[in-house]
Amino acid sequence: MNKHVFKSWIFSGLALVFLAVGCEQKAEKSDTPPNIVFIMSDDHAYQAISAYGHGLNETPNIDRIAKEGVIFTRSTVTNSICAPSRAVMLTGKHSFKNGKVDNVQPFNWDQDNFPKLLQAHGYQTALIGKIHLDGLPQGFDYSMVLPGQGHYYNPDFLVNGERKRIPGYVTEITTESALDWLENKRDKDKPFCMLYHQKAPHRNWQPAPKYLTLYDDTTFEPPFNYFDDYDGRGTAAKEQEMEIDGHARWGHDFKMIVDPNGDSTGFYNELKRMDSTQRANWLAEYTPKNEAMKAQNLQGKELAVWKFNRYIKDYLRTIKSVDDGVGEMLDYLDKNSLAENTIVVYTSDQGFYLGEHGWFDKRFMYEESFRTPLLIRYPKEIKPGTTNKKLVQNLDYAPTFLDYAGIPIPEEMQGESFRQLVSGKTDHWRDAVYYTYYEYPSVHMVKRHYGVATERYKLIHFYYDIDEWEMYDLEKDPHEMNSVYDDPEYKEVQEMMHEKLKEQRAKYGDSDENNQKFLKAYLEVYNK
């Protein structure tokens, strides 16, 4: 071997070593666990996200997540009410397994939740905004939460358990605090998971100072079934107390300082919370509108349409600030080269009625409150512009996050990871989902019920002080105006759906005995 050949061997060898090291480094880098930004708003109806195509408002920033990722068109919750839904998301277990079946029962933070598991595997975790679960949150390196429902103006926060009042508007404060944690409070060498959870657009829909007059020049048409007479459905739909025209309050909801009946119990407490500038701004914008309304002396349907407009405008105004915040978050991730390796999720703790059936609020297994928005961006695995129509649920979030992070999913979690489904690697998915609701008697008076839904049909059983079944064919009746439960033409469907219900209850471990146990516990507190 001459010197020259030997030298070139050495060089090729070195080159190979460098190449190998380079590959290894590259492989290591792509194995870095993804970050998670889990954005949730409270009571954000999919009808009020423009990516869902209802034409009600524009949410360009939330839409960006759909354009650059996936939008789920049939994502549902297992229990359509705030705190129980959050407990399901954290634990990956149905309400009757995690114990938080209603807003009355305490949440047991000692059980496993996905942030705890991420934390145990080297993630840094933070919870910023609204969680609406009592007790010091477990599983977070940093928490900054609103106590209970929290306030829109000058809210108190519990910062790692310590109470502080922060001047300003809640949605903007929550966004600024989330960005501050990302920039200044985390260890930038670790993967992170941040729960960035907005209070808006929860009742009573107080807009930010800069959006008090947004939509002033617009008149919104109520949905076609705003004046629903509930014919075709059972007692539960007829006896609820969720009507915009019948049950929303002049002061609290419609922001009349002195209402048309001369009652001044209205909006005073909310005004007291504001500082003098905030209050002066608010009164300057709302007083003339309120006076103009009173001068018109509206009655009947005209008054009901005015109420719908006051409701929907305030609701959409609060969403404008939420959307702004999503834009700031996406921009931050872009500017800091975090977009590629960060999973961004946008969802709500349930759906919401925007005048459908005449209602506001949620609770029912009917579509508007059963369905919830879900949009996810993760450039490494999700193709831009993906639409997914499968029956995913909030039950699936915890196992999905763990799957993305490469952490084993605990046996007791009842949801399923939809990671492979959303990347298109499989089309295999469940054909039915299970639902339970327990909070009755209570505000809004939606009766206790449980049910099963497939892509086309839905079977619901209302129980306790009634014993009624309803069934809907969503293909023929997407707005659920007529139960076909007793229709002879649907005899076979009815049998099939009863069978599905039985399967679902067996699969998840639910029963009438469970319902009786939770009813007894609820009534003990309720009757006190």
Q: Which residues bind Ca ion (CB under 5 A)?
A: 42-43, 82, 349
Contact 402, 117 (CB under 8 A): yes
Closer residue to Ca ion in complex, CB, 366/378 = 366
Cα 56 to Cα 198, 223, 373, distances in angstroms: 21, 11, 15
To Ca ion, the closest distance from the beta carbon of 86 in angstroms equals 8
To Ca ion, the closest distance from the beta carbon of 422 in angstroms equals 24
Closer residue to Ca ion in complex, CB, 91/483 = 91
Closer residue to Ca ion in complex, CB, 39/405 = 39
Nearest-CB residue to Ca ion? 82
Cα 250 to Cα 216, 262, 430, distances in angstroms: 19, 10, 44
Tokens, residue 46: 């999919």
To Ca ion, the closest distance from the beta carbon of 206 in angstroms equals 16
* 183 residue type, one letter: E
Place of tokens 């014919």: 231
Phi, psi for residue 458 in degrees, rounded to 5: -145, 130
* 468 residue type, one letter: E
Cα 482 to Cα 269, 332, 448, 470, distances in angstroms: 42, 48, 20, 9
Cα 91 to Cα 79, 86, 111, 122, 438, distances in angstroms: 14, 9, 8, 19, 19
Tokens, residue 438: 């327990």
Cα 338 to Cα 115, 133, 174, 419, distances in angstroms: 20, 30, 20, 20
Q: At 77, is the secondary structure helix, strand, or coil?
A: coil
To Ca ion, the closest distance from the beta carbon of 152 in angstroms equals 15
To Ca ion, the closest distance from the beta carbon of 350 in angstroms equals 5
To Ca ion, the closest distance from the beta carbon of 349 in angstroms equals 4
Closer residue to Ca ion in complex, CB, 43/63 = 43
Closer residue to Ca ion in complex, CB, 43/243 = 43
To Ca ion, the closest distance from the beta carbon of 370 in angstroms equals 13
* Strand ordering across the sheet containing 192-198: 162-165, 156-159, 142-145, 124-129, 192-198, 35-41, 342-348, 374-377, 70-72, 386-388
H or E stretch at 54: none
Closer residue to Ca ion in complex, CB, 63/349 = 349
To Ca ion, the closest distance from the beta carbon of 342 in angstroms equals 25
To Ca ion, the closest distance from the beta carbon of 341 in angstroms equals 30
The answer for residues whose C-beta is within 8 angstroms of residue 111's C-beta and 6 or more apart is: 91, 98, 99
Going by C-alpha positions, the residue among 357, 422, 344, 340 that lies closest to residue 389 is: 422
To Ca ion, the closest distance from the beta carbon of 509 in angstroms equals 25
* Angle formed by the axes of helices 300-335 and 60-67, nearest 10°: 60
Closer residue to Ca ion in complex, CB, 130/461 = 130
Closer residue to Ca ion in complex, CB, 202/505 = 202
To Ca ion, the closest distance from the beta carbon of 205 in angstroms equals 13
Interatomic CA distance for residues 348 and 86, integer angstroms: 10
Closer residue to Ca ion in complex, CB, 98/124 = 98
The answer for residues whose C-beta is within 8 angstroms of residue 103's C-beta and 6 or more apart is: 81, 82, 83, 84, 439, 442
Q: At 461, is the secondary structure helix, strand, or coil?
A: strand
Closer residue to Ca ion in complex, CB, 43/68 = 43
Closer residue to Ca ion in complex, CB, 203/419 = 203
